[in-house]
Amino acid sequence: MLAVLSPGQGSQKPGFLSPWLDLTGTEERLRSWSALAGVDLLHLGTAADADEIKDTARTQPLLVAAALLAAEHLPMDDVALTAGHSVGELGAAALAGVLPAEAAITLAGVRGREMAAACALEPTGMAAVLGGDPDEVLTTIATHGLHPANRNGAGQFVAAGSVDGLAKLAAEPPAKARVIRLKVAGAFHTPYMAPAEAALATATAGITPADPARVLLSNLDGAAVGDGGDMVQRLVRQVTAPVRWDLCMRTLADLGVTGVIELPPAGTLAGLLKRELKETGVPEIVTLNTPDDLPAARDLIARTGGQP
């Protein structure tokens, strides 16, 4: 059984889409999607520097576009499962057939702009908490008035909330844990993003989703979602809810996934899988970053693909 994964914010790299311009139709596709996203995806994916693509309003539609662009060159009919991390869920939903690609790009543009606007309302941020006892980590995060915005597995949590709370967390970390401040605009996946959740709910009101054509996992609880309307509601809710990537990886293992392709910009999710599943069995992984990686990805699909 093969899964295709779509990464989230923080995985982007300057110029990562440049090699894809060698493929026919790439530039035209990016220009078309740029009109829907409200940002210049061609420039952002090829010429923009690290600071420019760190902007939430730009990064989110760029990542969804990258995933959909690369997946166009894969035999997706033989892919059994899709999942995405944070904004990557929009790409995964499109690849599962819940949303048209154009709708996913449009919603990513709305999501990015509105989350950036919410970040500007008051000073907030995020910090990675690495190691420590999971229960103690969660208790310490709550003690400082913060939220567990991401539970990424492999001993990695992300705390989010007020700047003061993050400073206290850094000064008084959980035992045997390291706290690393993240260079992000604000406290994603927390109640601070409530205005963005409301805006995304409005944007999705006119969309009629389809039911998934393959297994589609949700960041909310790691569950496979079989109803398109339910998935859209989950995508909206996820703006303020924690990302439970740990549960998504557990579901991948429980379903017996033996092959994984991470879409560009690939590497982050592959690393988490390798660390989290090292004792139970790591699936064969292809990180798809350039067209040169397409033969390996297609070969993996041919050997481990097919619907469950």
Domain boundary pick from 163, 181, 199: 181
Task: List the helix and strand counts (H, then E) for the chain.
Answer: 12, 9
143-187 pLDDT, tens digit each: 999 999 999 998 899 999 999 999 999 999 999 999 999 988 899
Spatial contact of 82 and 96, defined as CB atoms under 8 Å apart: yes
Encoded tokens for 227: 């109803």
What is residue 171's three-state secondary structure?
A: helix
Both 70 and 11 in one domain: the answer is: yes
Both 222 and 276 in one domain: the answer is: yes
Q: In the prediction, which pLDDT does 278 show?
A: 86
Tell me, what amino acid is at 50? A
CATH code at position 48: 3.40.366.10
- Residues contacting residue 208 through CB under 8 Å, at least 6 positions apart: none
d(CA 200, CA 67): 21
115-127 pLDDT, tens digit each: 999 999 999 999 9
Both 167 and 223 in one domain: the answer is: no
- 105 — pLDDT class (breaks 50, 70, 90): very high
What is residue 158's three-state secondary structure?
A: strand
- Average pLDDT of the segment spanning 90-112: 98
Provide the pairing of β-strand 259-262 with 2-6: parallel
Encoded tokens for 238: 């996820």
Buried b (16+ CB within 10 A) or exposed e, 220-233: bebbebeebebbbb
Minimum mean pLDDT range among 108-112, 228-232, 274-278: 274-278
Both 274 and 199 in one domain: the answer is: yes
Q: In the prediction, which pLDDT does 94 show?
A: 98
What is residue 263's three-state secondary structure?
A: coil
* CA distance readout (Å), 86 to 108, 165, 260, 291, 304: 11, 23, 18, 25, 26
Spatial contact of 152 and 158, defined as CB atoms under 8 Å apart: yes
Number of other residues whose CB lies within 10 A of the CB of residue 256: 10
Active site residue 85: no
Both 194 and 283 in one domain: the answer is: yes
Both 59 and 74 in one domain: the answer is: yes
Q: In the prediction, which pLDDT does 281 show?
A: 86
Both 129 and 91 in one domain: the answer is: no
Domain boundary pick from 181, 207, 223: 181
Helix or strand (DSSP H, E) at 106: helix 101-119
Both 114 and 232 in one domain: the answer is: yes
Both 148 and 91 in one domain: the answer is: no
Kindly name the residue from 6, 11, 86, 218 that is annotated as catalytic.
86
259-262, strands of its sheet edge to edge = 215-216, 81-84, 2-6, 259-262, 284-287
Read off the pTM: 0.95
* CA distance readout (Å), 122 to 117, 119, 163, 187: 10, 7, 9, 10
CATH code at position 151: 3.30.70.250
d(CA 231, CA 237): 10
Q: In the prediction, which pLDDT does 80 show?
A: 95
Per the structure, the count of domains in the chain is 2
Domain hosting 17: range is 2-118+190-304
What one-character-per-residue DSSP string does 274-294 give?
Answer: HHHTTTT-PPEEEE--SGGGH
Upper half-sphere CA count for residue 90 (Cβ side, 13 Å): 29
Both 195 and 76 in one domain: the answer is: yes
Both 134 and 265 in one domain: the answer is: no
Kindly name the residue from 11, 144, 189, 218 that is annotated as catalytic.
189
48-78 pLDDT, tens digit each: 999 999 999 999 999 999 999 999 999 999 9
Calculate what percentage of the chain has a pLDDT beyond 90: 94
Both 106 and 196 in one domain: the answer is: yes
Domain boundary pick from 181, 199, 222: 181
Q: In the prediction, which pLDDT does 308 show?
A: 55
Active site residue 86: yes
Number of other residues whose CB lies within 10 A of the CB of residue 287: 22
The mean predicted confidence, pLDDT, of the chain is 95
